[in-house]
C-alpha cells in the first residue's frame, strides 16, 4: 500500500509536466519533481538530439557554485553524463564515475541514471546523486514514472512547436503568411 501510495503521489506531482508547452521547461521541472519525491538534493539532466533542437542543454541542480562551471564544461565535452551510454535505468555504483567526479569534490557512492527516450531512441538522461543514502526500488520506480511523464511532455511540446510553426506558413506556397508578418512586427 505504501509503494502504491508513493506512485500515486508521484503521478500527481507530474501533472505540472503536462502543462509544459516549451520543451526547455520540461527538464528543470522533472528534476525538481524527482528530487522532491526521492528526498535527494543533487541531480544532472541533459537533453540531446531533440527534433526541434530547442531544448538541448544541461540542467544542474544542487551543486556548489564554485564547481558548477567546471562540471558544466566536463559535461559539455562529453567526459561526464553522456546520455548515449544509457540503455535503461540503472543504479550505478561504478568507480569510474566516482573517480571522474572526485577531482571536483562530487564523489558519490550511488547514482540513479535514467534515460529519456523519444521515438525509441535516447535523447537525454537524468542522473540523481544518492547523497550517501542508497536508492530503494520504490524510489527508482517513482523516478521512472516521472521520466515517463517527462517524455510525454517533451512529445507534446515538440508537437506544439510544430503546430505553431505551421500556423505561420501558407499551405499552398510554403511561404510565410500575414500571421507571421504580424508576429514578427510585434
Exposed (0-12), middle (13-18) or buried (19+): which is 139, by Cβ within 10 Å?
buried
Summarised one tens digit per residue, pLDDT across range 8-31 is: 888 898 898 988 888 888 999 999
- Calpha distance 116→47 (Å, rounded): 8
3-state secondary structure of 59: strand
Question: pTM score, two decimals?
Answer: 0.82
Q: Three cell numbers at 157? A: 511540446
pLDDT at 133: 85
Q: Three cell numbers at 155? A: 512529445
Summarised one tens digit per residue, pLDDT across range 80-97 is: 787 877 887 777 765 556
Summarised one tens digit per residue, pLDDT across range 35-73 is: 999 989 989 999 887 766 655 688 999 888 888 888 888
Summarised one tens digit per residue, pLDDT across range 114-164 is: 999 988 888 889 989 888 888 888 888 999 999 999 999 999 988 898 888
Q: Three cell numbers at 137? A: 526500488
pLDDT at 158: 87
Amino acid at each position: 500500500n505504501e509503494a502504491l501510495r508513493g506512485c500515486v503521489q508521484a503521478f500527481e506531482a507530474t501533472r505540472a509536466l503536462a502543462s509544459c508547452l516549451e520543451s526547455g521547461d520540461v527538464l528543470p521541472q522533472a528534476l525538481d519533481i524527482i528530487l522532491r519525491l526521492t528526498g535527494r538534493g543533487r541531480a544532472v539532466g541533459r537533453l540531446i538530439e531533440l527534433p526541434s533542437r530547442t531544448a538541448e542543454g544541461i540542467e544542474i541542480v544542487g551543486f556548489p557554485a564554485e564547481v558548477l562551471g567546471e562540471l558544466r564544461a566536463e559535461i559539455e565535452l562529453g567526459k561526464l553524463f553522456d546520455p548515449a551510454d544509457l540503455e535503461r535505468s540503472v543504479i550505478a555504483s561504478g568507480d569510474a564515475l566516482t573517480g571522474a567526479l572526485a577531482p571536483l569534490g562530487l564523489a558519490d557512492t550511488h547514482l540513479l541514471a535514467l534515460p529519456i527516450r523519444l521515438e525509441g531512441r535516447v535523447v537525454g538522461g537524468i542522473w540523481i546523486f544518492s547523497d550517501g543514502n542508497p536508492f530503494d526500488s520504490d524510489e527508482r520506480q517513482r523516478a521512472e514514472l516521472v521520466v515517463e511523464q517527462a517524455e510525454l511532455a517533451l512529445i507534446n511540446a515538440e508537437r506544439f512547436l510544430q503546430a505553431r510553426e505551421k500556423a505561420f506558413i501558407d499551405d499552398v506556397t510554403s511561404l510565410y503568411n500575414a500571421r507571421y508578418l504580424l508576429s514578427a512586427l510585434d
